[in-house]
Chain A
Amino acid sequence: MSTSRLTRRGFLKAAGALAAAGCLPVSTVELAFADRSKSFTFAHISDAHIQQIRGTKFVRNWDRGLIRAVAETNLLAPKPDFVVFGGDLAQLGKKSELDHGAEMLSKLSYKVYCVMGEHDYYLDLGEYWSKLFGPHYYSWDHKDVHFVVLNSVLTYDEWTHERWPTQEQRMLEMAGLDNPNGSQFMVGEKQRAWLREDLGKVKKGTPIVVFSHSPIQKIYKGWNFWTEDAEEVQALLRPFEDVTVIYGHVHQVQYNQIGKISFHAVMATAWPWPYPQSYALAKSHLPRLTVPMNRADPFFERDATGWQLIDMKNGRTAMRYNLYNNTNRAVAFNPKTGRPEDTKFQEPTAGLPPQVHY
């Protein structure tokens, strides 16, 4: 990492390029790096929530969100190396919803890696999802970066297997917000053991990127912006110099730094969630670093939704949020401060005014 760490000047240059790229999301981003061979991009689409009404009729709004993200991602030049879909492809985990979503994802002209969301999982515990997309958790190496996909939406066995009379009710209970019948997400012991073993084979200088659906940090319990065993997972990642966790589920811009781990949330293609502090009934822990994004114009169904292009430069990530009907944003790791920062809205006083409630 020492050879590839950006200088302050390099960061500013990168920030400038990203800010410009904000207006020109399909143009090339050139960053000043010594070793260009280690730089690449990938795209991230998440939280499509494809929802069947009946028969062949699906909620049009959610369909349009995924269709547009796929079509725009296909126009990227230069082409990203791959695409990650960050979970919640379906709304209620139904085969029809997963099939319809998979058909739309199949139009991507890139290799796609999929992450499990709770809306995909709690009907049949990911069985049909697996037939379409493969294992629930896995890893791969790409251009000297180690990528890991976790299923972070598991919960207690008793809740999953013994509490609910039907699969459908289990799905609905987990889909609700502020639901006293819900349960906390977790990666779980079995998967953590797998992760320990998987990471054991990786050299300590290797950059690690982890994809999960829920944040591997604790932000707001009521909406499961929360992973119960986040600290245990973070501990497994701690030995590595460059770690990035990219998560879906929250449908909003968030970023944070815990030790050497950078956290980035991604947008949904379906709808925006409000920031948890707007819901004053319970304490929330939105990372102090995060400059919230402005909120949606309800006329434009796509406003405050979007997708991401991620610049992977020598192990560090820069998230470029493509936000419909809105100002695009870019959040990049700043080696001087050692944390991700919005390349434009860095000081709270200079930020877009956050909208605290709908």
Chain B
Amino acid sequence: MKNYFYGMILTVGLICAAVVQGKQEPASPPPLGLPPVPIPEDNPQSAEKVALGDRLFNDQRFSSTGDVSCATCHAADKVLTDSPLTVSQGIRKLAGTRNAPSVVNSVYAEKLFWDGRSPSLEDQALHPFVNPVEMGLKDHQPILDIVRSDPEYAKAFKSAFGKSGGEITMTEVTRAIAAFERTKVTANSPFDRWYYGGEEESLSAVQKRGFEIFVNQGRCLSCHVIEQTQALLTDNRFHNIGAGINAIRDEVPGLAGEFLKAEATASEVDVKVLTDKRTSELGRFAVTRGFDDLGAFKTPTLRNVALTAPYMHDGSLATLRDVVVHYNNGGVTKEGDPVNDFLSGGIRPLGLTDGQIDDLVAFMEALTSPEHASLADAASKK
């Protein structure tokens, strides 16, 4: 509701706002099943800005080795992820600690990264450039050197922001990238056409059974939210669901304690959580240092989830079925394994039968948007 309201205000604001540079686009209506795209007041959309963002997003020169761009881990033909990698690979194939979340529909995220350590798409875009296992730059200067001198960029920044040379800063760079990302919105899935569009035939009987389990016995709905008029399929909150942290149970006091000894800066946290797997498992605790956030990660949207395996922040679960089994076991991947002490109170054994698990997986396969359908076809032929 809040997002919707925000979107409404911004839509009105967009119509009234005086356009300084770039032709301002009236917001196109969102696809069936999603609310209006929230656009921050200080970064209105324009075709020029989006095109510039697209170019920046795909530019491999912004990495220390010259062969990694944003699109390396957020590839257009993989729903803007790097599926099927378990965790992302940056320069020289260096592995991080986390599975690349899709950029598609990330505009609706209230906080970015698995642990929510970034407040906006604009801020988020700053960090991978300078993370040692992502794009590996020492600082942002090489990016500024390129965009200030490259004639194509000079033209693009001039038309998008009215700025050139030294006037171009990382603020403009990240605003353009964020504007591009805000166009990556897909919904109108078979589920949306059934639930919001009234197309009875859009879901199979099995998928409809799966939906029943999704909202009832499976307890999925409490975090993967579906509302009367829209389905973000996330609550934008952080939960310890037993992924990752179960494996470092005995080390939590040491790891958490170490983290608490010294106040870490945002960029130190960024480096630490992506380069040290054990620290990574502390989840949002590394950001807030609150007990509630120990081992807690952001609820991802389930839109297009059938195409983005493997799953969880660490890519530790290979299939959607594995994910449902993990929840069915009350937050452990292998039934009977010990669960961590800080498990969210929302996670408990579900008592689903094998048949119900299959139904639930079938329902999640109905969350794929038509834009990605060809990919879905390819996946089903595998």
Contact = CB atoms under 8 A, between A and B. Distances in A.
Interface of A: 23-27, 60-61, 64, 67-68, 70-72, 74-75, 77, 299-303, 322, 324-325
Contact of A64 (B260, B292, B343): B343
A61 to B, nearest CB: 7
Interface of B: 219, 222, 252-253, 256-257, 260, 288-292, 294, 330, 341-346, 348-349
A47 B292 CA distance: 20
Contacts of B330: 60
Contacts of B341: 67-68, 70-72
A303 B345 CA distance: 7
A70 B294 CA distance: 14
B345 A300 contact: yes
A301 B289 CA distance: 22
Closest 10 pairs between A and B when the two form their complex, measured CB to CB: A302-B345, A71-B341, A301-B345, A300-B345, A299-B222, A72-B291, A300-B346, A67-B341, A299-B346, A24-B289
Nearest to A322: B291
Contacts of B344: 300, 302, 325
Contact of B346 (A71, A74, A301): A301
A60 B292 contact: no
6 contacts: A27-B260, A60-B330, A70-B341, A72-B291, A302-B344, A325-B345
Interface centre among A75, A77, A300, A302 (most CB of B within 10 A): A75
A75 B289 contact: no
Contacts of B222: 299
Contacts of A60: 330, 348-349
B378 to A, nearest CB: 37
Contacts of A25: 290-291
A75 B291 contact: yes
B219 A299 contact: yes
Contacts of B345: 64, 300-303, 324-325
B346 A26 contact: no
A301 B257 CA distance: 27
Contacts of B260: 26-27, 77
A26 B289 contact: yes
Contact of A75 (B256, B288, B343, B349): B256
Contacts of A302: 344-345
Contacts of A26: 256, 260, 289-291
Contacts of A64: 343, 345
Nearest to B223: A299
Contacts of A303: 345
Contact of A71 (B292, B342, B349): B342
Contacts of B348: 60-61, 301
Would you call the interface of chain B mostly helix, strand, loop, or mixed?
loop
A71 B260 CA distance: 16
B346 A72 contact: no
Nearest to A109: B253
Contact of A24 (B219, B256, B290): B290
Contact of B289 (A27, A67, A300): A27
Contacts of A70: 341
Contacts of A71: 252, 341-342
Contact of B292 (A27, A61, A324): A324
A198 B271 CA distance: 57
B50 to A, nearest CB: 37
Nearest to B343: A64
Given A26-B289, A26-B291, A322-B291, A68 B343 contact: yes
A302 B252 CA distance: 20
A325 B292 CA distance: 7
Contacts of A24: 288-290
Contacts of B257: 75, 77
B210 to A, nearest CB: 20
B164 to A, nearest CB: 43
Nearest to A326: B292
Contacts of B288: 23-24
A300 B330 CA distance: 13
A25 B293 CA distance: 11
A336 B303 CA distance: 55
A61 B257 CA distance: 27
B240 to A, nearest CB: 10
Contacts of A67: 341
A74 B291 contact: no
B261 to A, nearest CB: 8
A300 B222 CA distance: 9
A59 to B, nearest CB: 11
A170 to B, nearest CB: 33
A285 to B, nearest CB: 31
Contact of B290 (A23, A74, A77, A300): A23
A313 B291 CA distance: 24
Interface centre among A67, A68, A74 (most CB of B within 10 A): A68
Nearest to B261: A77
Contact of B253 (A23, A75, A325): A75
Interface centre among B257, B288, B292, B344 (most CB of A within 10 A): B292
Contacts of B290: 23-26
Contacts of B289: 24, 26-27
B10 to A, nearest CB: 29
B144 to A, nearest CB: 35
A62 to B, nearest CB: 12
B253 A68 contact: no
A67 to B, nearest CB: 5
Given A299-B222, A302-B344, 15 more contacts: A24-B290, A25-B290, A25-B291, A26-B256, A26-B260, A26-B290, A26-B291, A27-B260, A60-B330, A71-B252, A71-B341, A75-B257, A77-B257, A302-B345, A324-B345
A14 B202 CA distance: 59
Interface centre among B222, B341, B349 (most CB of A within 10 A): B341
Interface centre among B294, B330, B345 (most CB of A within 10 A): B345
A63 to B, nearest CB: 11
Contacts of B256: 26, 75
A324 B294 CA distance: 12
A325 B296 CA distance: 12
Nearest to B257: A77
A307 B98 CA distance: 32
B245 to A, nearest CB: 11
B90 to A, nearest CB: 32
Nearest to B221: A299
B174 to A, nearest CB: 27
Contacts of A301: 345-346, 348
A71 to B, nearest CB: 4
Nearest to A299: B222
